[in-house]
Amino acid sequence: MTKPHSASAGTYLVLTLAPLFWSGNTIVSKLAVGHVDPLTWTLARWILAFLLVLPFAWPHLRADWAKLRPRLLLLLTLGAVGMGLFNLLLYTAPHFTSAVNMSIEQAAIPVLVMLGNFIVFRVRAKLLQVAGVALTIWGVVLVATHGEPGRILSLSVNQGDVLVLSACALYAIYSLALRYRPEIHWLSFLAVTFAGAMLASIAAELVFVAPGQIAGSFAAVTAEGWLYVGYTVIFASHVAQLCYAVSVKRVGPNRASLFINLIPVFGTILSVLILGERFETYHLIASAFVIVGIWLAEWSVRSALPEISGAG
């Protein structure tokens, strides 16, 4: 393995591009409302992403097969949960909530990973880490309740926000399970997990759409809708993963994973600039809690962060 080295300006650019492209996934999910339905989008994305990566991954799949075979079901499941179902929920949520909310709420992912490490793997938490988790959770609660935490008591929470937080929980499970990932080439990993996402998307399509209507759902996608699908296939699925893989090789997984926390930051900025969404006072207060909380939590365990694959 290449020893991580000091980051140059070019390395920082690559480190930044991955979360930028992943945050774009949230923006296009809002733009795509009315142009492509979530089920069709999820299925089209992962079929195309798998077919695109397969020729490049094939030599590595053959070389890694001995390591892959015992963990094949695990990796397919990881792809189904952390890519297929995660994005299905994420593409459904903008029908009910704003992209600003979706972006900030995704800050819950690293917090849930930390909690999972503590609960499942008994990784001891430091005082600053506990404080950071508490602050981040409070920030996410403020966003999910639109600045009115009392809504939780009456279960009056926007269903789109519930979908995003459910997606975050699925991605946290995916991230925690990555510790069982075999030592294989990153293209082998992408090919198998993309296959898992594709299989999960096919299953969801068969459950929720009548077989005779599947072709019609694809025909109903507008030209603009296919552009959004194309963005997620090329940039959110492949270019972002390539940037992240290069980042891990250059600076190591611990430092590279810190930059994933830029996803809610970029997503919020792009939501305002591109979508023209309002940045409310409660968004500002919540963002402050989230940023300070994540910084405290991750600064306290900077030397022992888990490797997390990208959230796109």
- Residues 235, 21: Cα–Cα separation, whole Å: 6
235 domain-assigned: yes
Give the pLDDT mean for 245-272: 80
Each residue of 209-231: pLDDT tens digit? 877 788 889 999 999 999 999 99
The H or E element containing residue 117 is helix 108-119
**pLDDT for the residue 306:** 42
Structural domain count, the chain: 1
Instruction: With a cut of 80, say whether residue 147 has pLDDT above it.
Output: no
Q: Which whole-number Å values give the CA distances from 251 to 25, 99, 211, 284, in the listed order?
A: 25, 31, 47, 32
- Examine the pLDDT at 178 and tell me if it is beyond 50: yes
Domain of residue 42, residue span: 20-304
Which residue stretches of 209-312 are H helix?
214-219, 223-231, 240-251, 253-258, 262-273, 281-300
Q: Quick one: the chain helix, strand, coil %, rounded to 5?
A: 80, 0, 20
Look at residue 55 and tell me whether its pLDDT is greater than 80.
yes
Q: With a cut of 50, say whether residue 279 has pLDDT above it.
A: yes
Count, residues in the chain: 312
- The string over 78-90, giving b where at least 16 C-beta atoms fall within 10 Å of a residue's C-beta and e elsewhere, is bbbbbbbbbbbbb
In a domain, 11, yes or no: no
Q: How confident is the model at residue 307 (pLDDT cuts 50, 70, 90)?
A: very low
To which H or E segment does residue 31 belong? helix 9-31
Q: How confident is the model at residue 56 (pLDDT cuts 50, 70, 90)?
A: very high
Across 251-285, b (16+ Cβ under 10 Å) vs e yields: bbbbbbbbbbbbbbbbbbbbbbeebebeeeebbee
Portion of the chain with pLDDT greater than 90, in percent:
51
| Cα(271)–Cα(293) distance, integer angstroms | 22
C-alpha to C-alpha distance for 94 and 164, rounded to whole angstroms? 9
Q: Which residues of 140-172 are buried (b: 16+ CB within 10 A; e: fewer)?
A: bbbbbbbeeeeeeeeeebbebbbbbbebbbbbb
Ranking 9-13, 133-137, 155-159, 160-164 by mean pLDDT, the lowest is 155-159
310 occurs within a structural domain: no
Burial of 97 (0-12, 13-18, 19+ CB in 10 A): buried
Tokens of residue 185, six digits: 């080439």
CB atoms within 10 A of CB 2: 8
Structure confidence at residue 156 (pLDDT): 59
pLDDT above 90 (res 5): no
pLDDT over 80 (residue 293): no
pLDDT beyond 70 at 233:
yes
Q: Judge whether residue 290 has pLDDT over 60.
A: yes
**Residue 247 included in any domain:** yes
179: nearest Cα among 74, 83, 280: 74
Evaluate whether 229 touches 44 at the Cβ level (below 8 Å): yes
The pLDDT, as a whole number, for residue 153 is 56
pLDDT at 87: 96
pLDDT digits (tens, 9 = 90+) for 57-99: 999 999 999 999 999 999 999 999 999 999 999 999 999 999 9
Tell me how far apart the alpha carbons of residues 238 and 233 are, in angstroms, rounded to a whole number.
7
Say if 103 falls within a structural domain.
yes
- Residue 310 pLDDT class (50, 70, 90 cuts): low
Confidence of residue 125 (pLDDT cuts 50, 70, 90): low
Mean pLDDT of the 251-262 span: 72
Higher local confidence (pLDDT), 115 or 186: 186
| 8 belongs to a structural domain | no
CA distance 232 to 219: 19
Q: Is 292 part of any domain? A: yes
pLDDT score recorded for residue 120: 85
Statement: residue 2 has pLDDT above 60: no
| Average pLDDT over every residue of 120-145 | 75
Q: Is residue 296 situated within a structural domain?
A: yes
